Chain A
Amino acid sequence: MSDTTVLPERALDMRDERLRPTAVLDRIRSGDLGVLPIVVGLAVIWSVFQALNPVFLSSANLVNLLMESVSVGVIALGIVGVLLVGQIDLSVGSVSGLSAAITAITYVNAGWSLWLSMAAAIGSGAVIGWIYAQMVNRLGVPSFVATLAGLLGFLGLQLWLLGSKGAVNLPFDSDLVHFAQLAFVPAWLSYVLVAVAAVWIFITGYSLARARRAAGLSARSTKVLVVRSLAVLIGLGFAVWYLNEARGVGWMVVSFVALVLVMNYVLTRTGWGRSVFAIGGNVEAARRAGINVKRMYTSVFMLCSTLAALGGLLAAARLAAANQATGAGDVNLNAIAAAVIGGTSLFGGRGSAFSALLGIVVIQSISSGLTLLDLNSSFRFMVTGLVLALAVSLDSVARRSRAAHGRA
């Protein structure tokens, strides 16, 4: 009896008597891991490298590490998109290299304006994504094969464009190189940005909670929101302060984080993003719900190639040159590995934009740590491969566990 009298006071979504609070531990055990594995992994990696070489966690090295992360991180962001719809793009490395070559050739050799050559490079990325989408949509070619063909083809095009010299240097006084090497956020502004982020998180959280309460739904308490926002303020504030001990936070890093936030918004708060997850979860269901699956594939492949082209541009800017090695070697697999290590499932339908950010920091940490130890690329490949194998195994095990616990 007492139950029925209490019922109307409970929030609309909390009235079922079968509902019980789920402990964090329960969720983890059932395979809903969230960002936990990557945070633990990062802590382990950082502790080991710091123990081996105390320079690793110095401000100067972390500043560098972040700057080096951006170009492949941007590429990984596009990979997150294609993985979410259950496809793959293996050619992002070649596309980024081609984009770097196009920028260098048009800007340096042909004397175009910087903006025009950047637009040409990024536009070529969009066109490449469109071609992949047509192959997948119209001809039914698996994206694995279509992009594998692209990997070879566009690598060839990049080498052909660069010609016999094989490298084009970008002038150091260009805005692009300045942006990638020397543009840092002034210390005061970096703290302002952190404060803005914390306040923003509180305001959006508070207005959502108010709207939910007004609609009779359960909502986070203001206390929780304040604590969360303070945690962000302190955490980010400390990170920024530590980086400011050296050169500070690069504008390129800020832009990358902004890009991740935009991507996160688009994936979680728009109809387009919802369709992406739906297609990754059950293509047939998505199609029957009236989602234009082919158009979604087109937009996702175009987004991925465009971001790959942007990443290539940033890589060339960072190096102040576009050469035959830009986008070659491990760029391709590092971008894919970053997305997967960050927690985006290879099976589609699960993941987040933040996995690109977290994943690339892990990969770059390994790379930076091994470089500091004077170990060459052979070790880097082996360790990164091992971490990737661990991440994918974890993904598979977690998937099985979710299936067993009914959490998809």
Chain B
Amino acid sequence: MSAILSLRGISKNFGAVAALTDVSLDVAAGQVVAVVGDNGAGKSTLVKVLSGVHSPSAGTITFAGAEVTIGSPAEAHTLGIATVFQDLALCENLDVVENLFLGRELRRGRLDEVAMETRSWELLRELSAKIPTVRIPVASLSGGQRQTVAIARSLLGDPKVIILDEPTAALGVEQTAEVLNLIERLRDRGLGVIMISHNMEDVRAVADRIAVLRLGRDNGVFDAAEVSNETLIAAITGATDNVVTRRASRRESKADV
């Protein structure tokens, strides 16, 4: 599969701190790539580089075959890279329709509320979203509903790549399942999905490939169907002998006895 989005040698420094060093990543259309790593591994920085919030200190980004620079969130939108941040970036005082179309309202001189509302319903229905009404402020929605609104919003610009930053972090069991279904629907639509996550179970449930970051560097890309949990954890923590494996082996040896 040819990659729609490729990063090569991306570095990002904040003063003396190197948040990312020489990171490479490929995403193809219709593929879910999970980016995992411990706290401080550089996952969020990578998201911000891709969404145009930070520009990289070094490295190249290739999108749909051409080398691009992503100078601002608006440029990322225009290119076709949509990002759903962990904090979702919704305006609580605005209703669902207003949030969905924020920054790209239809007919900006005289807002086409009817068309926006119908389009919102279509979109939410496609995603099988459970939202009772689109004319209430986002403040009154649950965590899962907000996540759905944020993902639906990112689809409006007809993106080719969608980046989800910890999409299941704050959700309950059922809502997590709904969001994972949603991610599969995105893949079926032919979108490239980059999913940042802490949760191994969720990652293995939907991802095709898993890229591991450690201390701002690449630490291996694995095929999600083949890789074992031990290998992943070793890549994340940087050693085969660590707190997690020691704990696991202790339990195994107990079970043997």
Contacts and interface: CB of A to CB of B under 8 A. Distances in A.
B66 interface: no
Interface string A315-339: 0000000000000000000000000
A208 B113 CA distance: 9
30 contacts: A13-B117, A13-B133, A16-B132, A215-B114, A269-B110, A269-B111, A275-B103, A277-B91, A277-B94, A278-B91, A278-B98, A281-B94, A284-B87, A284-B89, A285-B91, A286-B91, A286-B103, A288-B51, A288-B85, A289-B73, A289-B104, A290-B74, A290-B104, A291-B103, A402-B139, A406-B137, A407-B136, A407-B140, A408-B138, A408-B139
B93 A408 contact: yes
B251 interface: no
Given A19-B133, A282-B90, A285-B91, A274 B73 contact: no
Interface string B131-166: 111111111110000000000000000000000000
Nearest to A289: B103
Interface residues of A, number: 39
Interface in A376-408: 402-403, 405-408
Contacts of A165: none
A285 B51 CA distance: 13
A345 B228 CA distance: 55
Given A281-B92, A285-B90, A274 B117 contact: no
B49 to A, nearest CB: 14
B185 interface: no
A290 B71 CA distance: 12
Contacts of B73: 287-290
B102 interface: yes
A223 interface: no
B229 interface: no
Given A217-B117, A406-B139, A408-B139, A286 B102 contact: yes
Interface string A257-297: 00000000000011110110110111011111111100000
A78 interface: no
Contacts of A271: 105, 108-109, 111
Contacts of A282: 89-93
Contact of B137 (A269, A290, A292, A408): A408
The 6 A-B residue pairs with the shortest CB-CB distance, nearest first, are A408-B139, A271-B108, A289-B103, A406-B140, A281-B91, A281-B93
Instruction: Give the residue among A18, A278, A281 with the most B Cβ atoms within 10 A.
Output: A281
